Amino acid sequence: MFLEGKKIILGVTGSIAAYKAAILIRLLVKEGAEVKVVMTPSSKEFITPLTLSTLSGSPVLSEFFNQNSGDWNSHVDLGLWADLMLVAPASATTIAKMANGIADNLLITTYLSARCPVMVAPAMDLDMLNHNSTKENISKLKKTGNFIIEPATGELASGLIGKGRMEAPEVILSIIFDLFNSKKKLKSKRVLITAGPTFEQIDPVRFIGNYSSGKMGFELAEKMANQGADIKLITGPVSIKAIHPSIETIAVKSASEMYIECIKLFKDVDIAIMAAAVADFTPKEPSVEKIKKDKFNKVIELVETKDIAKELGLLKKTNQILVGFALETHDESANAIKKLFSKNLDFIVLNSLNDNGAGFSHDTNKITIIDKNNNIEHFELKSKAEVANDIVTKICQLL
């Protein structure tokens, strides 16, 4: 957890992008931050306070006065409490009010009382963003020391395409990491990650594959990018996309394509993580034509693929770290330890298919990390994002 103990006020305003505030809160809380949400009155038309209070684990603040207790919500206390105030999404109205000190709601009074850094993530239609008034207000906010998280370009709620989308929560998270960790743990480290399954062609319409979703490898890529690493993510066919701008995705299909890319890149990286479920066998002679039922002799001859992890283990220099995975169904630790040494890994992440919620098709995983010095660490069942954190922490210890 990289935001342990950090106190963050999240200001939510009236914008279609308000739903992204929910995702943002989850990410912040997962990283250990304490989040208090302040909503403008109109934001409640877009997302309910109940959703945001449940996710943040703290009552959402919106009114100056608390009707039930008769107390008032002190924007001064809030402003002093926070290590960071983030307004996301920030509507044109809220930006205008912030820029001009129009303190007619709790979000603006909190902003005016805040002594911490303030980040603003605008979200609006492209013409509103482009309007001189908005531009002037944003530039005023910049000049007075606020940090603007530039909106991204893409399809907007209006159906128009252009600049105005609130930046992705994962990217905002990484910017927050930047703020708090001027010394990022993996700054300028070059990392190679394999992810997903491989598809081994039988004929132009059929293949041998597996159920790997790629989630574990992609989570690792996002976490490590957040810590300043440059990532080459070599992925087999998956339905997910990497978000962080420091992740370069290289899409491959087969084990041999993955092998070629890994060999090409390995010499230039500091860390390589083999999270892909690489096929161990591939058809010896894939048919160039679709195999017809009446011509098929019901046997597909297979040959072994290259063991990418093992090959990289042979090439590994002393200043490189190589991490592997082992998904086992029996004799789990013994099998994992065998792989750890035969592939010359620095540590192996073991998950057992006998544990409920672990393995390919889940969003959760239960791992054991075994390193080459025989240190064994067992972890609870967690989301793959949290598991990725544990793996990154182990890598940081080795560095």
Instruction: Choose which of 166, 238, 300, 327 interacts with ligand CTP (CB under 6 A).
Output: 327
Return the closest-CA partner of residue 329 out of 348, 354, 349, 350: 354
Question: Of 114, 123, 326, 367, which one interacts with ligand CTP (CB under 6 A)?
Answer: 326
Q: How far is the CB of 255 from ligand CTP (least distance, A)?
A: 6
Task: Report the residue from 191, 276, 358, 395 that binds ligand CTP according to the rule CB under 6 A.
Answer: 276
- 3-state SS assignment for residue 233: strand
Best CA proximity match to 393, nearest among 173, 220, 169: 220
Binding region for ligand CTP (CB under 6 A) out of 51-59, 96-104, 127-135, 322-330: 322-330
In the chain, the amino acid numbered 237 is P
- Choice between 109 and 194, CB closer to ligand CTP: 194
> Interface with ligand CTP includes 271 (CB under 6 A)?
no
Among candidate residues 4, 58, 10, the one with its CA nearest the CA of residue 33: 4
Q: Does 370 bind ligand CTP (CB under 6 A)?
A: no
Please report whether residue 255 would count as binding ligand CTP according to CB under 6 A. Answer: yes
Q: Whole-angstrom Cα distance, residue 309 to residue 372?
A: 15
Interaction with ligand CTP in 280-309: which residues (CB under 6 A)? 280, 305, 307-309
Question: β-strands 7-12, 84-90: how paired?
Answer: parallel
- 321 interacts with ligand CTP by CB under 6 A: no
- The one catalytic residue among 210, 226, 297, 375: 210
292 burial type by CB count under 10 A (0-12 exposed, 13-18 middle, 19+ buried) = exposed
In the complex, minimum distance from the CB of residue 392 to ligand CTP, in angstroms, rounded to a whole number: 16
Residues 183-202 that bind ligand CTP (CB under 6 A): 194
SS3 labels along 287-341: CCCCCCHHHCCCCCCEEECCCHHHHHHHHCCCCCEEEEEEEECCCHHHHHHHHHH
Q: Is 210 a catalytic residue?
A: yes
Pattern 5-44, ligand CTP, x by CB under 6 A? ----------------------------------------
Residues 6+ apart with CB under 8 A from 134: 92, 95, 96, 122, 124, 128
Q: Count of CB atoms within 10 A of residue 371's CB?
A: 17
Residue 325 touches ligand CTP, criterion: CB under 6 A: yes
Binding site for ligand CTP (CB under 6 A): 194, 255, 274, 276, 278, 280, 305, 307-309, 324-327, 339
Residues assigned a catalytic role: 210
